[in-house]
Chain A
Amino acid sequence: MAISPLSRRTVLRGVLAGASVSVGLPLLELMLDRHGEALADGEPLPVRFISWFFGNGVTLARFVPAGEGPDYPLSEELAPFANVKEYLSVLTGFNNHCAPENKITHHEGMVIFSGFNNRDVGQGQGFFSNAGGPTIDQVIANLPSVSEKTPIKSVQLGISKRPSQVDFGTTMHALSHAGYLMPLPPEHSPLVAYKMLFDSFTPPEDPMKPHRIAALDIVRENAKKLSQRLGAQDKLRLEAHLAGVGELEKKILALPPPCTKPAAPTQDNVDVNGNEPLAQVSDVMNDLIAYAFRCDITRVASMLFAEGAGNTIFSDLGFTGAHHDYTHDGSPQTQSTQVSGGVVYTMQRLAHLLERLKAEPDGVSGNLLDNTVLFASSDCAEGISHSVNQQPMLVAGRGGGKLVPGMHYASKTGENPSDVLVTLLGVFDPAATSVGKDQPGSNTAFAPLKA
C-alpha cells in the first residue's frame, strides 16, 4: 500500500529540470554576521511560518499517540514523522470553540486557523459561510517585523484540485483569508508558483521599472477618485486593491534576491490518466517553500493539501474512491484501510516538507526547521462524524528557539485551540496577547509550548 518515496535525486531532477544545476550560496548566508548566529545588521535570524491543511480529519484511534510528554511514541498515522519527531508536537483533545450556530459540517473546522467565527453561515443554499477574520498566517504576515523584511509578504499554495462539494463560498476553498470577504485562494501549479516566487523580479537596471511604477500612480489616482463615491464596503475593497498595488510596487522596486535562483520546475499539476500527481506536485511545492525561505523571499506560506469534503482520490495507494466518500462509509474495513491509509499518505507529504526544511542549513549550526513554526490541522477531528471536538493539531519547528518541540500534549478539558495560536503569534510578536474574537477567540497563551 505504501508508495516508495521519491529519491532525493529524482526530486532535484524534477525541480531543477536538469542534472548540472548548482545551488549557490543562499541569501541568508551572504548576509550573516561572522559568527553565523545573526544577520550582519545584528538582527536575529528570521523565523518563518507555515500553516498546513488537510481535509476530512484523521482516525483518532490510530492518530492519537499512546503516551504523553516529550518521549511520546508515534502512533500508526504519525509514523511518517520518525525522522523529524524531535521537531513535532502533537496536540490532542482540544475542542474547537466556534459558536454552535457555526456548525454546518466541515466549514466550522476552519475556525481553528483564525479564532474567528465564520459569518453569513447558512445563507442562500445552506452550505455557505464566509471566514470571519484573518487567518493566523495573515496576522503574522502583516506584522511589520515580518512584512517589511521580504519582497513577498506571503504565498498560498495548494496540491489537490478536487474542490469541496459543500462550500458555496470560500471558507474551505482557501486556507488563507486576509479578512472577511478577503479569501486568498491557493495556487495549485508549481510552474506559476515558481514564477511568482523566483521569476518575477526586475533587474535593477531595467529601463521599464520607473514607468511601471508611474502606471501604478495612475491606478492609485483613479482608485482615489472612484473611492470617494463608494459606500463603506466597497471602499474597503478598493483599499484591499490598493494594498495589492503597494505590494506589487514593493516587488518591482526590490532588488532581485542575490541567491542563485533554482531552475524552473517541469512538474505541473495536471492529471495523468485521470489521476492527480499528488506526491510529485507536493514534493516540488515543498522544494519551492524551502528555497523561498532560504533565499528570504517570503517568510510566510500556507499549504492547502486537500480541501475538506473534497473529492481527492489517493490513487498512489491504489484507491479508486474519493477520500471524503470513504470517510462516510460505515465499514470498519474502509475506515482502517482507505480512510486511515489516506491520512498516513497525507502525513507522509507533511513529513517530507519537515524533512526538507530540516535538511536545509540555516545559520552556522542550525537548519530551516529550527527557525520555522508550522501549524497543521484539518476541518474536523474525524471525517465520519465531522465533529470539531477533539480536533487534532500539529505544531512543528523550534520557532527560533521560542517553542518547545517534540511533545504530545493531551488536553483533558477540551481547551481552546486558539490558545495555541496566541503562543505561535507570540513567537513573531512578543507583545501579542490575543487571537480571534468571541467564543473561539483567545487571550490566553498555551504555556506548555513556550520555551
Chain B
Amino acid sequence: MLPYPRSMTLAVKALGVAMGIALLAGLGGPTGCVSGDIGEFGSGGGGAGLEREIEPAPGGVRRLLARQYKASIRAVLGDAAASAAAPPKDIPLHGFGTIGAAQLSLSAVDVEAYESSARAVAQAFLGDAKAAGKHKSCTPTGPDDAACMGELCESVGRLLWRRELDAAELEALVTLGNAAGATLVSFDRGAEFAVAALLQAPEFLYIVELGEPVAGAEPERRTLTQTELATRMSFFLLDATPTADLLDAAVAGKLGTPEEVRTAATTMLAQPEAKAALGAYYDEIFRLDLIDETAKNAELFPGWSDSLKASMRASARAMLDDIVWERDADARELVTADYAFVDSQLAPLYGTSSLAPSLEKVTLPEEQERAGLLGTPAMLSVFSHAARSSPTKRGVFIRRTLLCDTVPPPPNDVVPKLPDDPSDGLTTKELLEQHMDDDACRSCHALFDSLGWSLEIYDAIGRHRTKDKGQTIDTSGVSPNVGEFAGPRELGQLLFDHPQLPDCMVRNLYRNSMGHLETTGEEPAIAALDESFAEGGYRVQELLVALVTSPAFRLVGAPK
C-alpha cells in the first residue's frame, strides 16, 4: 500500500511521552500525538508549474462501489434493471469505500453475487421494452438473428465497458446470445446471457485508470486518456458510468484542456445525481451510515427506533445539502450553522415545536448552543455509548474527521479502563478525569476529551440537557492547537477559523475521489486546492470543479 505522510512513524509509547512533555511545557501547538502541520507547498494557482511538481500516485484498477454499479445500470439499462441489481457490499479501507475498491480482491462469494445480479439485471432489462429499445432498433427475425444481437451488444457494451468492443469480442457475445436464444427458443432470453456476460466482465466491474506515457517525461509519469478522465470524473461526480455524449466528447478529444474539463464538470454538477453522489460521500465520511448499527439502551431511550434513526440521518444530510447545494455557501458553516432540519419525530430532541411529518428548516433555540454538525442527533448518537454520551468518541471525531489529525491507538503498557464507580454517582466527565490521572492516558486524551466535554450538554441520542448526574454541565474547555471555548458554539467558531478544517475537507474529498490516501508527491496538488478553496469562499461545488481540473486528477504513475 501507499505510504501515508501523516501516519505514525514513531513508537506509540514515545509519542505518548513526547505529548505529555509538550503539554506540560504548555506548547499547545503541533505535537507528537497530532500532526497539526499544514504543508507549505506548491506554486499556488495550478498550471504547468504545479503539474511538474506533482509526483503522481500509481494507476490501476478500482472496483465499482455498490452504488456506482447500481447507478451505472440505471443509466444504461433503465430503472427496472437497476431494481434487480444486487452487487456485493463495499469494503472500506481507511473509512473510504473507494480506497477498499482500489486495493482489495474479490472473493468467490462476491463473484457469485455478481453473476446472480448480472442475470437478474439482464432479465429485467430485456423485459423492459422501453429500455431495451434504446439499444436496438431492429426486430429480431428469430432467436438466432446475429445482426440484431450484434446491434444490441455493441450499444450496451460500449457504455458498460466505456470503450468500443472489437470484432472478436462482439462475435463471442453474439455467438453466446444466439446459442442461448436457440436453446431457450427466444431472442430476448438469449440476449440476457450476452448482457449478463458484459455485466460480469472486469472491464465493467473495474474502473481502469492506466493512462498513457507523457511525451518527453519519464515512463512512470502518465496521463489519463480522455476516456479514462471522463470515466474518473463521472464516477466521482455522479457515481455513474459516463454518458454516451461524454464518451463521444472524450473520443473526439474535447476533454483536453482545463476549460473543457471545467465545462463538462459544471454540466455534471447540475444533475441531481451529483447531489446523491456527494451525499453518499458525506454519509460515509461523517459516519451517518453507522447509525443503522447504533444501539441504545431501551430503558433510557424508549423512542429509539429505525424511523427515528432514519430521520436523524436525513436531517444531517439535509443540512449538508442546504449548505452545499441550496445556498452554495461557505462549507465551514458545517460547524456553526444555527439551524436544523426538524420533523415531528426530531422536534422533541431539539426542543422545537415542529409537527410537520417531513423535515423543515428551523432556527434552533439559542440556549441549546447547537453548532451545525456538532449538534446533530445523528453524529451525537453515533459517537456515544448505548447508555451514555462519549466525550472521547465525539472529540476523536472532531480531531480525526474534521481536522484530519492522527489519533494514535493507546500505548501497549496502559490498561485502558474507567475507574470503579460503585455508587454510579460520577458524571462522565468525572469518570474520564479520574482516568486522566495516568500520564500515559492524559497525554492523548487531553487532545480530544476536552473537545467532547463541550458537547456533554447533548445526551447519548443528542437531546439537550443541562445536568449530568444532578450536576450542572460545564461546557468550557481548552484544547491544544484549537484554543479556549465557553461552549459548543464558541468551539464551532474556533473550528470555523481553523486552517485545518478546510484543508481536511480538501484531503477527505481528494482521498474519496482518487481511491488512495494522498502521497507526499501529491501534496503540491493539495496545497493548490487549499488555496483555490479559500479564494472561492470555501464553496464545495467550486472545490469539486477545482479537483477534477487539478493536474493531479489526470496524472497517474506506473500501474500498481
Contact = CB atoms under 8 A, between A and B. Distances in A.
A76 interface: no
A241 interface: yes
Interface string B92-116: 1111000010011111111110011
Interface in B398-424: 400, 406-410, 412, 415-422
A401 interface: no
A165 B392 CA distance: 12
B142 interface: no
A237 B105 contact: yes
Contacts of B38: none
A274 B298 contact: yes
A332 interface: yes
Nearest to B421: A331
Contacts of B190: 211
A329 B418 contact: yes
B293 A122 contact: no
A40 interface: no
Interface string B162-174: 0000000100110
Nearest to B305: A274
A217 B169 CA distance: 11
Interface in A42-100: 100
B298 A211 contact: no
**Interface-centre pick from B7, B105, B119, B203 (highest chain A CB count, 10 A):** B105
B386 A328 contact: no
Interface string A111-133: 00000000010111111101000
B176 interface: yes
A230 B208 CA distance: 9
A128 B103 CA distance: 14
A243 B180 contact: no
Interface in A143-172: 153, 156, 161-163, 165-166, 168-170
Interface in A213-249: 214-219, 221-223, 226, 229-234, 236-238, 240-241, 243-245, 247-248
Given A211-B176, A244-B107, A162 B293 contact: yes
B418 A231 contact: no
B266 interface: no
Nearest to A236: B105
Interface stretch (B193-201, B238-246, B315-323, B537-545): B193-201
Interface stretch (A182-190, A278-286, A409-417): A182-190
A247 B559 contact: no
B558 interface: yes
Nearest to A127: B409
Given A130-B1, A230-B61, A231-B58, A218 B176 contact: yes
A6 B420 CA distance: 36
Interface string B513-549: 0000100000000000000000000000000000000
B200 A216 contact: yes
B202 A219 contact: yes
Given A243-B108, A251-B112, A320-B299, A211 B193 contact: yes
A322 interface: yes
Nearest to B166: A225
Nearest to A187: B109
Contacts of A241: 105-106, 111, 202
Given A126-B406, A226-B208, A181 B202 contact: no
Given A218-B197, A244-B107, A212 B115 contact: yes
B179 A211 contact: yes
Interface residues of A, number: 87
A180 to B, nearest CB: 9
Contacts of B108: 153, 243-244, 247-248
B41 interface: no
Nearest to B1: A120
A184 B109 CA distance: 8
Contacts of B4: 123-124
B417 A322 contact: no
Contacts of B420: 330-332
B508 to A, nearest CB: 11
Contacts of B106: 237, 240-241, 244
B230 to A, nearest CB: 18
Contact of B409 (A166, A221, A240, A313): A166
A221 B176 CA distance: 14
Interface of A: 100-101, 103-105, 120, 122-128, 130, 153, 156, 161-163, 165-166, 168-170, 173, 178-179, 181-185, 187, 196, 200, 207-208, 210-212, 214-219, 221-223, 226, 229-234, 236-238, 240-241, 243-245, 247-248, 251, 271, 273-276, 311, 313, 320-322, 325, 328-333, 384-386
The 10 closest A-B pairs by CB, nearest first: A244-B111, A231-B559, A240-B105, A247-B108, A211-B180, A215-B197, A320-B297, A222-B201, A104-B409, A330-B417
21 contacts: A103-B412, A122-B409, A126-B406, A127-B409, A162-B295, A168-B93, A196-B112, A211-B176, A211-B179, A222-B169, A222-B202, A229-B210, A231-B559, A236-B105, A241-B202, A247-B111, A275-B295, A275-B298, A311-B386, A320-B299, A325-B386
Given A104-B409, A125-B406, 11 more contacts: A124-B4, A124-B7, A125-B94, A163-B293, A196-B109, A207-B183, A223-B202, A231-B559, A238-B61, A328-B416, A330-B420
